[in-house]
């Protein structure tokens, strides 16, 4: 069992200021022509993500990878595990994974793996034995009832499924039976799985799938006290193995509930409400959804306690949600990469890949070139490449300074070189225009003012104001980091206040400024 109390996190966690990239290995790059992306293929493409040389500018600047499940699995997606200690043969071998970690670390990239604790495949040896009868050695590794309890799941779905004269509990579907985490033997086994990936495989942490569903209390099936307790003990155990490891949890719920997991249970939790608010504000040209979400987040979370994103592998791609509008896509990226939190980018998002459900169509092969199969590999891909790959691909965008890819690279580089963007404090700034959103990011010695015009039309009367802010009185030279151009200087009054500030006479529609404020006027 885990030690107590939980070892404290490092004073400055390595994920503070990090930029993560979510990868579905099956769809990233096929190295051997079998139509399946694989770990050797991912290794070949690491330089695209980060070449390890801070002097170059043609890589994305990724410093963390989240790999969707790489375990041996019964399905293409990997969330129904057959063997927790073996890499999916479609992806390669355990040694391939270890080589990936070594190559990633050499480039300054940490590797986080998706860990599925809530359930296994119904083809897992544990479940095959468990289902064989009441006296099976693994019977109580899963949740069984002699009769159908009759209640449905949180979304109204069937959760009790008949098998060999009894009923087993499976929250998501009958092919993924839930593990019984109240069984100490199951918990010990999962602890050892975590130890294996941290110590023997070299992983830097875990993304915990379906974290709010781990333990049921009767027909209460989400966010239970037992789930919180279990995650606290799991966090303590993994920290005892590696004090620097990261846990980031999928708790797909409202911020009030998500935030309760952060601290002794999770280091980070994905902020689904903020993701939704960003997309609504960008789509509807209005500040209120985003401003309201940020106000709640600042109230609820410890500093740096949440992960930000636009969309992930379970959602229609951001380009589809933004009407395939490249201007809105740039705006959403700007918000993601200037707001506080640890950002995660879904593979292909940076080039504007499209895709809407079913799930296979939001997990299509990465679009590298305009050549057949989008340069994914020499074989026929497991899933057809998406439409428009001939123009929407890395090769076409990589040398175009006006491309979406170049915009992502520039923003990520700014996060890396300006600590205020990476992990600075956040303070909203008022605007006279309801479509202009502004905020300060700051650390000691550096202040940045971010201004975003969400509206489609130019803003000419958007005066910015702040009362009792953190800036010392005086005049500040303002330089727009995106355009590398001087803006109107900012004058701050006693008490850190300013009013009516307009760094440009007019803000173009759907545009942004990132102003570096330096005391003194040149």
Active site amino acids: 209, 250
**Integer Cα distance of 144 and 132 in angstroms:** 12
Are 349 and 310 spatial neighbours (Cβ–Cβ below 8 Å)? yes
356 upstream amide cis, omega within 30 of 0: no
DSSP state of 506: -
Beta-bridge mates of residue 464: 431, 501
174 C-beta neighbours (distance < 10 Å), count: 14
Rounded Cα distance, 19 and 275, in Å: 16
Classified as helix, coil or strand, 319 is: helix
CA pair distance 439, 460, nearest whole angstrom: 18
Instruction: Give the pair of three-digit tokens for residue 249.
Output: 């949890």
Burial of 450 (0-12, 13-18, 19+ CB in 10 A): buried
d(CA 70, CA 26): 9
List the one residue out of 438, 482, 454 whose CA is nearest residue 332. Answer: 454
Question: H or E element: which one contains 416?
Answer: helix 404-417
Buried b (16+ CB within 10 A) or exposed e, 316-355: ebbbbbbeeeeebbbbbbbbbbbbbbbbbbbbbbbbbbbb
Measured CA to CA, the distance from residue 144 to residue 315 in angstroms comes to 32
Structure tokens of 232? 């606290």
Cβ(60)–Cβ(67) below 8 Å: no
């Amino acid at each position: 069992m885990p030690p107590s109390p939980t070892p404290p996190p490092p004073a400055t966690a390595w994920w503070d200021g990090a930029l993560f990239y979510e990868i579905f290995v099956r769809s990233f790059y096929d190295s051997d022509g079998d139509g399946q992306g694989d770990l050797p293929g991912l290794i070949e493409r690491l330089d695209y993500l980060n070449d390890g040389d801070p002097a170059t500018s043609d890589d994305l600047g990724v410093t963390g990878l989240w790999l969707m499940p790489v375990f041996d699995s019964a399905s293409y997606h990997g969330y129904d595990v057959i063997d927790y200690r073996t890499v999916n043969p479609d992806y390669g071998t355990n040694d391939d994974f270890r080589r990936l970690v070594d190559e990633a670390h050499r480039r300054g990239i940490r590797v986080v793996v998706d860990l599925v604790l809530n359930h296994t495949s119904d083809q897992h040896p544990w479940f095959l034995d468990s289902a064989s009868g009441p006296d099976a050695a693994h019977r109580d590794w899963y949740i069984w009832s002699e009769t159908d309890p009759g209640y449905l799941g949180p979304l109204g779905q069937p959760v009790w499924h008949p098998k060999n004269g009894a009923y087993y509990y499976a929250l998501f579907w009958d092919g993924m039976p839930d593990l019984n985490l109240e069984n100490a033997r199951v918990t010990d086994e999962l602890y050892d799985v975590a130890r294996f990936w941290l110590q023997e495989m070299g992983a830097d942490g875990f993304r915990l799938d379906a974290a709010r569903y781990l333990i049921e209390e009767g027909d209460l099936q989400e966010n239970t006290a037992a789930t919180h307790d279990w995650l606290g003990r799991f966090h303590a155990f993994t920290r005892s193995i590696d004090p620097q490891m990261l846990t980031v949890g999928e708790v797909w719920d409202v911020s009030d509930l998500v935030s309760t997991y952060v601290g002794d249970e999770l280091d980070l939790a994905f902020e689904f409400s903020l993701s939704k608010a960003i997309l609504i504000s960008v789509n509807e040209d209005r500040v209120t959804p985003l401003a309201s979400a940020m106000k709640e987040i600042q109230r609820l979370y410890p500093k740096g306690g949440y992960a930000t994103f636009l969309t992930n592998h379970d959602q229609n791609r951001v380009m589809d949600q933004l009407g395939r509008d490249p201007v809105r896509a740039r705006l959403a990226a700007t918000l993601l990469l200037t707001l506080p939190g640890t950002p995660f980018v879904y593979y292909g998002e940076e080039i504007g890949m499209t895709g809407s459900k079913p799930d296979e169509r939001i997990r299509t092969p990465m679009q590298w070139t305009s050549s057949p199969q989008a340069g994914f590999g020499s074989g026929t891909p497991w899933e057809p490449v998406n439409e428009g790959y001939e123009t929407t691909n890395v090769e076409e965008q990589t040398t175009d300074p006006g491309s979406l890819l170049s915009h992502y690279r520039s923003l990520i580089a700014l996060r890396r070189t300006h600590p205020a963007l990476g992990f600075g404090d956040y303070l909203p700034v008022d605007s006279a225009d309801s479509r202009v959103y502004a905020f300060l990011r700051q650390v000691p010695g550096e202040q940045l003012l971010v201004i975003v015009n969400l509206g489609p039309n130019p803003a000419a009367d958007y005066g910015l104001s702040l009362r009792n802010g953190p800036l010392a009185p005086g005049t500040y030279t303002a330089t727009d980091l995106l355009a590398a151009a001087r803006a109107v200087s900012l004058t701050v009054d006693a008490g850190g206040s300013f009013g009516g500030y307009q760094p440009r006479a007019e803000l173009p529609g759907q545009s942004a400024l990132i102003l570096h404020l330096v005391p003194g006027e040149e």
